[in-house]
Amino acid sequence: MDKNEFRLGRVRPAPENFLTDEDIQAVQAGRRDFLRKALLGASAAMLAPAAARAASDGDPAILNLPPWSTSLGMPVASHPYGLPSKYERGLVRRESPGLTRVGGSSVAFTPLQGLFGIITPSGLHFERHHQGWHDVDPSAHRLMINGLVKTNSVFTMDDIMRLPSVSRVHFIECGANTGMEWGNVAVPTVQYSHGMLSCSEFTGVPLKAILDMCGADYRKGRFILAEGADGSSMTRTIPMELVESGEVLVAYGMNGEMLRPENGYPLRLVVPGVQGVSWVKWLRRIEVGDKPWATKDEAVHYMDLLPDGQHRQYTSVQECKSVITTPSGGQILLDKGFYNISGMAWSGRGKVSRVDVSTDGGINWRPARLETPVLSKAVTRFNIDWVWDGKPAILQSRAADETGFVQPGYGQLRAARGTKSIYHNNAIQSWKVVESGEVSNVQVL
């Protein structure tokens, strides 16, 4: 590697993260080396001639060392529960203004543009509520099992947390993620286009073990209903075959600690590969039954309108999908040169098997590196090198999973599904780079 190859480029995160309005205006006005010069200036100041003089007499004040190198810092446990640096305060969940009339039935999106690896920090996990969130008292919370079971039962949190548990990394994606793009709205950043996606390590009890204890009738009882304790009594039907696979968890742990209140504390269902609405939060009841319940949230919402006017119901698996998170919409390439294109891929059917990346709008494709571990029904991080020549470019990623399914383009997806859907948009995302270095959301058929 030639170091200068890497020196040429510089990418800035989406505007809401690092750049000030003045920075953006400077870049948009074409003064593309503004920041570079500012940084070089700062760098030169730090290496001022005084430093050279001081190097021989060892005086840290004259050396102009930063305060963190010359003073006693903060003690341990200053924050018994730690928080991010103040310099990262722009990296937060954001509500899309005006998306719903009540904040309790809205969405706060995960800032994918600033994340690394596959784990989503719990503080940045996306939120989608139907009647707001509460901090439920775990000592008062109960899980009831009823329906086609020998013994109707009520479990306390103590009962559940004493059972044999498992821990697994899985993605959760709202069925409506990327929903605005059906109508070609082209929301500005990946936070708003794909940010109803998170990936965590969940800990809990396989639902199968709990149903076994209650003597579930697996011959007749081919479906379960999961019900939440929130005001909307969120209810979803789930096929028993998913439960029998052992993958469905009654979960209390997320990323090593208890679930966060807005993600279902103290108990939620984990249904790997399936859209988020089925991962019922504040889980209070599981009923075993012989047919789907056709509740409001599966008979009115969360359906896919097809081109012929029919609709698909109970389409719940999140098909293979990917997105480039850096560079992405709202970011700015400040110079020509080397970039590490990075993104996320996932499939509700199993493991991601490959991700190809195009920088010319889908004419040429190159395979990206998949970071280990590549886990089933989890996010996989991909990376690939790119040298930007300063000319317009269109960046795309296309994932495939172990079943052989390949992520479709918008042309393919619309041929099958039309343009009137809200849910289950897994089309290839395109980011357009123009000569000024600005990156924006475009649709390529």
Min separation Cβ 94 and a second copy, Å: 7
Which is nearer to a second copy, 106 or 304 (by Cβ)? 106
- The region, left, alpha or beta by phi > 0 then psi within -120 to 50, assigned to residue 197 is beta
Q: Which residue has the tokens 């599904």?
A: 417
Least Å from the CB of residue 48 to a second copy: 14
Please say whether the beta carbons of 421 and 166 come within 8 A. no
Whichever of 247 and 304 has its CB closer to a second copy, that residue is: 247
Per-residue CA distances from 143 to 36, 130, 268, 302 (Å)? 57, 20, 10, 25
Could you tell me whether strands 283-289 and 142-147 are parallel, antiparallel, or unpaired per DSSP bridges? parallel
Q: How far is the CB of 179 from a second copy (least distance, A)?
A: 16
Shortest reach from residue 324's CB to a second copy, in Å? 14
Q: Nearer to a second copy by C-beta: 231 or 411?
A: 231
362, 429 contact by CB (below 8 A): no
CB closer to a second copy out of 67 and 309 = 67
Strands 94-95 and 107-109: antiparallel
**Toward a second copy, which CB reaches closer, 260 or 301?**
260
Q: Which is nearer to a second copy, 258 or 274 (CB)?
A: 258
Shortest approach of a second copy to residue 411 CB, angstroms? 32
**In Å, what is the CA distance from 113 to each residue of 92, 135, 408?**
11, 29, 22
Rounded least distance, CB 410 to a second copy, Å: 28
Please report the sign of the dihedral spanned by the C-alpha atoms of residue 318, residue 422, residue 393, residue 433: negative
Side-chain half-sphere CA neighbours of 244 within 13 A: 11
C-alpha angle 197-201-202 in degrees, rounded to nearest 5: 100
Write down the least CB distance from residue 32 to a second copy, Å.
14
Q: By C-beta, is 53 or 162 nearer to a second copy? A: 162
